[in-house]
Amino acid sequence: MRYNKKELRLRVDFNNMMSKSVGQDGFTDKQLLAASAEAESAFESVKAGRGKGMMGWTELPYNQDEIVEDILATAKYVRKNFEYFVVLGIGGSALGPIAAFQAICHLHYNELPKRKRKGPKFYVEDNVDPERMEALFDVIDVEKTMFNVVTKSGSTSETMTQYLIIRDVLEKKLGDKASEHIIATTSRDSGNLIKIAQKEGYKTFYIPDGVGGRFSELCPVGLLPAAVVGIDIKGMLAGARYMDELCSSSNPRKNSALMAALMQHLAMKKGKNVSVMMPYADGLKYMADWYCQLWGESLGKNKNLDGSACNKGQTPVKALGVTDQHSQVQLYAEGPFDKVITFIAVDRYRAQVAIPDGCEEFPNVNFLCGHTMNELIQAERRATEYALTKAGKLNHTIVLPELNEFTLGELIMFFELETAYTGALMQIDTFNQPGVEEGKNATYALLGRPGYDEKREELASAPQKLNRYII
């Protein structure tokens, strides 16, 4: 599909981050100018790291032509031969595919009759709640299901638990043909899953070494599930490539992701330690979930690059407009001055619904008649933006001309670049996750994984809970 770049260019409105709009908590042009050298340094740091270490994600829009063709061929085979497609994963292996599915596919995709869907019914198992696993077996026929197990290391406890359960069920039902129902997405050269895949003969896609889970949506981790449900993955990559090109300047006034990063960094210095992501489209609801992992796991660190101690980060919070105007906006408007709210707006929704005439005897209802739901949701967003701005609360708006594969790719790349720039400004390692690893290691020890004896001893010697504090 061809996309008009000019018409689909993502825009970012920073007006309500400025003192002219929100008063003393906002920024002045003088302050931004004074911080421009810091922003340029962050840009150069990210630029120098492109394609190196854990920054392989920067090259995904450019280096996957052959892989994409393999994905498209595999997706076509799955659509033809299976009625269900289930992703087994957690973290970025799950959040990205869920977000893309929700953004592009019909909002009731799985409930559509087969003739109206572009692919098999789609499920993502991103937890190890036993009730959830049992519930999955109530809505799928495993003999008609393709399972995509996704873990780079092949030692992720949650994902490999799911795999072991699924493999057992498949082998009991299908015997030697069980391997035809599993696709592995993992590391090419290391880890347990690649060894298992080679032994069992699974179709395999590879996660590049320099791509961490939270930056993996634009590699086979996210592209395969997207292609299976009929999403134009070439369009997603084209949008990401376009955004990368738009963010090629070291001048924050010519690079929206760099400007967003600079303002978030300056806001954190002012004590704004909460980042609220609030899209005004149900299709983008799970983009907020994906953002929360990207932002929180990348920026929540207790060491600077020089090794000195710190406890840095900005807590991400997800919200959905208009829904959460009735649950969270009271806090944002009248609560503490500790937040930056990011709205995501859509110019043109993919449907238009008119509000019909009625309730003439009730003017405070009838005034809606003759308008559309499209007008209503736009008015609600603008009104909320106005209310927060009037209250002096920092906010800015990302605008998508419409929601499609191209603009989704733009949005993903925008957030990934913003995160990388922000980490560089904060002088932290954006791409490690030692806090996550500590929890993983403790889990391994508790369940008796070999090689974790020392951690088991550490856990055994931890302070015991006292009954008097349990009521």
- The residues carrying an active-site annotation are 297, 326, 440
Determine contact, residues 283/242, Cβ cutoff 8 Å.
no
For 25, counting Cβ atoms within 10 Å of its Cβ (0-12 exposed, 13-18 middle, 19+ buried), the class is middle
Q: Express the helix, strand and coil content of the chain in percent, nearest 5 each.
A: 55, 15, 30
Half-sphere exposure of 450 (CA within 13 A, CB side): 0
Alpha-carbon span 411 to 404, nearest angstrom: 11
Alpha-carbon span 10 to 416, nearest angstrom: 14
What is the DSSP pairing of strand 395-402 with strand 11-13? antiparallel
Q: What angle do CA 265, 41, 29 make, to 5 degrees?
A: 55
For 447, counting Cβ atoms within 10 Å of its Cβ (0-12 exposed, 13-18 middle, 19+ buried), the class is exposed
Encoded tokens for 145: 């299901």
Nearest to 179 by CA among 199, 154, 160, 202: 202
Determine contact, residues 225/86, Cβ cutoff 8 Å.
no
Q: Is the dihedral of CA 171, 175, 181, 187 positive or negative?
A: positive
Name residue 247's amino acid.
C
Assign 164 to helix, strand or coil.
helix
- The Cβ of residue 305 has, within 10 Å, a number of other Cβ atoms equal to 14
What is the DSSP pairing of strand 395-402 with strand 339-348? parallel
Q: Is the dihedral of CA 158, 159, 162, 163 positive or negative?
A: negative
Encoded tokens for 247: 């963010």
Q: DSSP assignment, residue 4?
A: -
